[in-house]
Structure 1
Amino acid sequence: MNYLNNPNTKFAIILALCLAAFTSCREEEVEDEGLPLPVISLQETSAAKNFEYIGSIEGVESVEIRPQVDGILEEIYVDEGEFVEKGQPLFKINSQPYMEDYKNAMANVNLEKAKLEKAKSDVERLQPLIDNEVISEVRMKSVKADYQVALSSLQQAQAQAANMRINLDFTTIKAPVNGFMGRIPKSIGNVVKKTDSEPLTNLSNVNDIYVYFSMSESDYLYFERAKNDKTSKKNKVNDQVKLVLADGSIYEHGGKIDANSGQIDRSTGSITLRAKFNNPDTLLRSGNTGKILMEEIYPSAILVPQSATTFIQDKKFVFILDENNVAQRREIITKGRSGDNYIVDSKSLSPKDRIVVSGLDKLASGIKVKPIQRGQLTSSL
Structure 2
Amino acid sequence: MNKIVKYVLIGVLVLGALWAAAFFIKSNSKSAISYEVKTPITTSIEKKTVATGKVIPEDEVEIKPQISGIIDEIFLNEGVKVAAGDLIAKIKVVPNEQSLNQAKGRVRNAEIALNNVKIEYDRNKTLFDKGVISSQDYNTQKLRYDQAVLELENARSDYQIIRVGSAGGSSLANTNIRATVSGTVLEIPVKKGDQVIQSNNFNEGTTIATIADLSVMIFEGKVDEGEVGKLKLGMPLEINLGAINDKKFDAKLRFIAPKGVEEAGAVQFKIEGDVTVEDDFLIRAGYSANASLVLERKEDVMAIPEALLQFDKTTDKPFVEIAMGPIEEQKFERRDVEIGISDGVNVEILSGINEEDRVKIWNKTEPIKIGKEEDEETK
Name the TM tier (shorter chain): 0.5 to 0.7
- The 1:148/1:196 distance shift into structure 2, 3 A limit, reads closer
- The 1:158/1:198 distance shift into structure 2, 3 A limit, reads closer
CA distance in 2, matches of 1:42, 1:298: 16
Select 2:184's aligned residue among 180, 196, 221: 180
**Paired residues, what number?**
305
**Is structure 2 residue 260 aligned with structure 1 residue 272?**
no
- The 1:93/1:148 distance shift into structure 2, 3 A limit, reads closer
CA distance in 2, matches of 1:155, 1:353: 97
Residues 329-380 of structure 1, C-alpha deviation per residue, up to 9 Å, x if partnerless?
7687766544x74232524655x255569898389xxxxxxxxxxxxxxxxx
2:255 maps to what in 1? Answer: 259
Answer whether contact 1:332 1:344 (CA < 8 A) is retained.
no
1:220 maps to what in 2? Answer: 228
CA distance in 2, matches of 1:206, 1:342: 40
CA RMSD, Structure 1 to Structure 2 (Å) = 5.1
- The 1:200/1:298 distance shift into structure 2, 3 A limit, reads same
The alpha-carbon deviation at position 209 of structure 1 amounts to 1.0
Unpaired runs of 5+ in structure 2? 1-33, 198-202, 367-379
The alpha-carbon deviation at position 295 of structure 1 amounts to 0.8
The alpha-carbon deviation at position 59 of structure 1 amounts to 0.6
CA distance in 1, matches of 2:320, 2:119: 107
Among the aligned pairs, what percent are the same residue?
18
Select 1:93's aligned residue among 86, 91, 94: 91
- The 1:155/1:348 distance shift into structure 2, 3 A limit, reads farther
CA distance in 2, matches of 1:349, 1:208: 51
2:347 maps to what in 1? Answer: 343
* TM-score, normalisation: structure 2: 0.59
CA distance in 2, matches of 1:143, 1:95: 38
The alpha-carbon deviation at position 193 of structure 1 amounts to 2.0
Task: Report 1 or 2 for greater relative contact order, CA contacts < 8 Å, sequence distance ≥ 6.
Answer: 1
Select 1:246's aligned residue among 242, 245, 250: 242
CA distance in 2, matches of 1:133, 1:276: 80
CA distance in 1, matches of 2:122, 2:325: 119
Counterpart of 1:81 in 2: which secondary structure? Answer: coil
CA distance in 2, matches of 1:42, 1:269: 38
1:193 maps to what in 2? Answer: 196
The alpha-carbon deviation at position 50 of structure 1 amounts to 0.9
* TM-score, normalisation: structure 1: 0.59
CA distance in 2, matches of 1:331, 1:278: 46
- The 1:262/1:128 distance shift into structure 2, 3 A limit, reads farther
Unpaired runs of 5+ in structure 1? 1-34, 228-236, 364-381
Letter of the structure 1 residue corresponding to residue 225 of structure 2: E
The alpha-carbon deviation at position 54 of structure 1 amounts to 0.9
The alpha-carbon deviation at position 51 of structure 1 amounts to 0.7
**Is structure 2 residue 82 aligned with structure 1 residue 84?**
yes
CA distance in 2, matches of 1:58, 1:37: 51
